[in-house]
Structure 1
Amino acid sequence: MTSTAPQQSILDRPFVLDLFAGPGGLDVAAHALDMPSLGIEWDKSACLTRYAAGLDTLHADVSRVRREDFETLPPEINVLAGGPPCQTYSVAGHGAGREALEEVKEFIHRLITNEPVEAIDRDLGRLSDPRTALVLEPLRYAIQATRSPNRNNRPFDVIVLEQVPTVEPVWEQYAKALSDKGLPDGTKYEVAFGVLATETYGVPQTRSRAVLIARRVGLGKPQLPSATHRAYEPKAWNRESNRPQGQGHQPMLDDGAGTSMPEARVERQEKAAKIPQQWRSMGDVLRGPIGTHPGRQKPFLVRSNYGSSGNPGRRGVRTDQQPAATVTGRISRFVVFEHLDENIVQEGPRFTMNEAGMLQSFPPDYPWRGTAQAQQVGNAVPPAFGMHLLSAALGLPRPDIEILRKPWPTATEEQQAKLRSHGCGAAHACTDRCPRAKDQVPPPSSRPRKTKASVKS
């Protein structure tokens, strides 16, 4: 399909503010589209990665910046973006956020109707897990922009949000609030939202995300980005019919998806007629050498019990001809088996952080730093997906994500010192204004995680 989007952005100079910026997925996407960005991130290690990647950063708590330092943000920022932490909404988490969905919806209504901030903050403090309230921060930033003397009370023009699929009802409530009543100052937005599969945008993994794109009224009605690749359908997968020539027979390890049936093949052919590009596989991005990555020349299998976006059919064993399971903080635990010949496999080296990042569509040689690097990779927005979201939000043509295949240069020590002076307050260390290390581990939910045993009882 050819894009019908205009060649010029709906904004003269897009400038992205990335809340909960992590190691830089949305920022990398913005830079690939030649847009400046500023990220706010409270995790020290993620900030170290960002500094090494040359990304403008504030090492700070998103909520505190809104309350105390909003006026220090560049007034030119006109695109608000972010992916609030998902632990309390994720199907892998304790579920405090999912259980509080109706309360969160009510808080959205209270914010839009301009209730006193003190009363809202007091009641938010009663949630069983304080991280649940972070999903409201983008709305609070949008409201704060209309009260900012530094911005002449100018609202953000565009809002782009993404989260786990279980947050879709929150985005739906956002959409109603922004389009029906609008912000307290009367600013209204036109909104599109839904759940998208990242492999349909060229990301070599199956990952479902609830997204929201909003444009201020007068800038045109937004649309979600159209898919560029076919969706991965476990039940339709057939290793034999999709095996690249010359690769030989592959042992049939059960991936929990079953075998392909005639009906599934017909459905796959119909979809292929509409979207010609096959989804991108692990082998597509890891097979050849690029940057310092030597390439994985041998066919391989990956076993994982994690990272399925709640879909059991997406778990199990996958070959290098399939997209990866959802890349999470457990990516370093994925077991990789290499083929010795047509019928024998043995355990091979596990994914490096460089490879894990590439499965997230980060450029090769992205400079991962600090601790918990696997968690940084797993928490990030896939840059290729971010490019599609930002392009759709700004009315740009379909992006060329191949630009992300170029190795990413590491910032010089001088550049990193300058970025850290701005982000932390000192060239080579954190300062009192940075979040404290002990505060970077959110308190566990007071609700115990439900297990099969507790459900049965």
Structure 2
Amino acid sequence: MNSPGTQAHPLDEIRILDLFAGPGGLDVAAHFLGFQSIGIEWDRNACETRYAAGLPTIHADVSVMRETRFDEIPKSVDVLAGGPPCQSFSVAGKGAGRRALEEVKTFIHRLVDGEDEKKIDEDLHALTADPRTALVLEPLRWLLKAIDTEGRDPYKVIVLEQVPAVLPLWEVYAKLLSGGEGRLQGVKYEADFWELKTEQFGVPQTRTRAVLVARLPGLGAIEPPRASHHTFDVHRGKRRSVQADMLPDDSDGPRPRDRWLSMGKALDAASDTKGSPVDVSRFRTGGETRFFVVSNYGSGGDPKNRGRRLSSEPAFTVTGKISRNKVYKSQEAYEAGDYDRFTIPESGVLQTFPHNFPWSGNDQAQQVGNAVPPRLGMHVLSTALRGDRPSDEELADAGSWPAVPQDVTDGLRAIGCGDQSQCPPESHKVTGRRRKSAP
């Protein structure tokens, strides 16, 4: 496996194009599976993290890149992946996309039928004031662009993920990709889509994602990723005592090797790694890590009803507001108002990023929350590209990130940003510093 950024040229042998790449969740997954990838990302802060991590990146708007700079994408790319921004579809957002869901389905059909794209954009803008809603169409537009461009082949594999509310759109995608009609020009895919729970794949948090995988015929039947862990019951009964239930009880539960991964276990492993920026010693009592988290969000429609998760359980969904969650060492600390916060490296570990991943730039909590959990990404990509789940060795290696020399970071920044003239408008007014990664 090549270390990030160490190949002869950063764009050689790139196979995976990651749209809306963020700080690199899918790219990190691809790295540990041995695949080269390149990401397109408009946020400079996320780009700074990617450069520091040695991940090839183009700092650009995905739509502009498709329209005017498509020829810059390496021709070796045969996998299209991405998670369009989910805020307008998310339960946590204002829901412009959810309200327009049925209408958005028609726009997918209109694109494939060959209607004028400017007219489609105008109608979509009139439908919703949130421009991010239109971005869910970008993967289809990138596929159609590849089909329409001389010298390009259709992508062999397509992997998309989003919040569960988008599953009906993935269903439309799957049907159209399987049909090969209109602008698809007879190109037919085998496609399927699922709701996946992250804790079933070794991610120490509860988070549900809508995933679509499509492949050209001849690459084998599409099967959903095989879960490696059990589901966590988010609707369990209320506890009578936080103290009494601080540690898990395996007596009547699933076997420990199949159990979901807890926050405490994930953070302990990262904290015990030599040179790790993660240090949970502040939560240890009698040699054991114990804490509970009070969510920043209300539950049951009551903003004052804050949910709780124990260190012996998976985390709540990690969002860009994770740094607002309050972490208490004990019930006594809770009653005294004595709380802590998760650090950025700790938040990253709960997303299954390596403990020493070099988070950089500003808005790091938002970067963490927006990312695809790399461990889920490993399961999805491995299933899509190899027909099986990641090996135990690959999953074990995914806990640490290789050191990236400064000259590699600088070189990737030069490729991604160049003279800044092609970067998104105003983006370089944001400033940030690179944080040194742990050895």
TM-score by length of 2: 0.84
Q: Which amino acid aligns with 2:272?
A: P
Query: Match of 1:134?
Result: 135
Pairing 1:145–2:146 present = yes
Q: Distance in 2 between matches of 1:413 and 1:199?
A: 35
Kept in 2, the 8 Å contact 1:55–1:419? The answer is yes
Q: Distance in 2 between matches of 1:71 and 1:54?
A: 23
> Which 5+ residue runs of structure 1 have no aligned equivalent?
1-12, 241-248, 255-259, 442-457
Post-superposition offset of 1:422: 0.5
Pairing 1:418–2:418 present = no
For 1:191, what is the secondary structure of its paired residue?
strand
Kept in 1, the 8 Å contact 2:19–2:82? The answer is yes
Identity over the aligned pairs, expressed in percent?
50
Post-superposition offset of 1:276: 5.3
Alignment of 1:342-353 (within 5 A): 347-353=338-344
Query: Match of 1:44?
Result: 44
Structure 1 residues 148, 409: closer, same or farther in 2, change over 3 A?
A: same
Pairing 1:284–2:265 present = yes
Kept in 1, the 8 Å contact 2:296–2:321? The answer is no
Q: For residues 14-49 of structure 1, what are the alpha-carbon distances to aligned partners after superposition, in whole Å with 9 as ceiling and x for unaligned?
A: 811000000000000000001000000000100000
Structure 1 residues 97, 56: closer, same or farther in 2, change over 3 A?
A: same
Q: Distance in 1 between matches of 2:98 and 2:232?
A: 27
Kept in 2, the 8 Å contact 1:20–1:85? The answer is yes
Q: For residues 82-117 of structure 1, what are the alpha-carbon distances to aligned partners after superposition, in whole Å with 9 as ceiling and x for unaligned?
A: 000001000111111011112211111111112232
Q: Which amino acid aligns with 1:157?
A: K
Structure 1 residues 62, 170: closer, same or farther in 2, change over 3 A?
A: same
Q: Distance in 1 between matches of 2:307 and 2:279?
A: 26
Alignment of 1:31-430 (within 5 A): 31-128=31-128, 129-149=130-150, 152-182=151-181, 183-236=183-236, 251=243, 272=254, 277-287=258-268, 288-290=271-273, 291-296=276-281, 297=284, 298-306=289-297, 316-339=307-330, 347-399=338-390, 400=392, 401-406=395-400, 408-426=401-419
Q: Distance in 2 between matches of 1:174 and 1:310?
A: 33
Kept in 2, the 8 Å contact 1:207–1:308? The answer is no
Work out the number of aligned pairs and report it.
Answer: 400
Kept in 1, the 8 Å contact 2:193–2:213? The answer is yes
For 2:52, what is the secondary structure of its paired residue?
helix
Pairwise CA RMSD of aligned residues?
3.1
Post-superposition offset of 1:252: 5.5
Q: Which amino acid aligns with 2:261?
A: R
Q: Distance in 2 between matches of 1:351 and 1:87?
A: 23
Structure 1 residues 300, 215: closer, same or farther in 2, change over 3 A?
A: same
Query: Match of 1:434?
Result: 423
For 2:297, what is the secondary structure of its paired residue?
coil
Q: Distance in 2 between matches of 1:343 and 1:48?
A: 37
Kept in 2, the 8 Å contact 1:43–1:440? The answer is no
For 1:221, what is the secondary structure of its paired residue?
coil
360-369 vs 119-128, which deviates more?
A: 119-128
Q: Distance in 2 between matches of 1:285 and 1:335?
A: 18
Q: Distance in 2 between matches of 1:48 and 1:14?
A: 20
For 1:195, what is the secondary structure of its paired residue?
strand
Post-superposition offset of 1:343: 11
Post-superposition offset of 1:237: 7.0
TM-score by length of 1: 0.81
Post-superposition offset of 1:371: 1.1
Q: Distance in 2 between matches of 1:320 and 1:148?
A: 52
Q: Which amino acid aligns with 2:324?
A: R
> Which 5+ residue runs of structure 2 have no aligned equivalent?
1-12, 431-439
Post-superposition offset of 1:216: 1.1
105-114 vs 21-30, which deviates more?
A: 105-114
Q: Distance in 2 between matches of 1:357 and 1:372?
A: 13
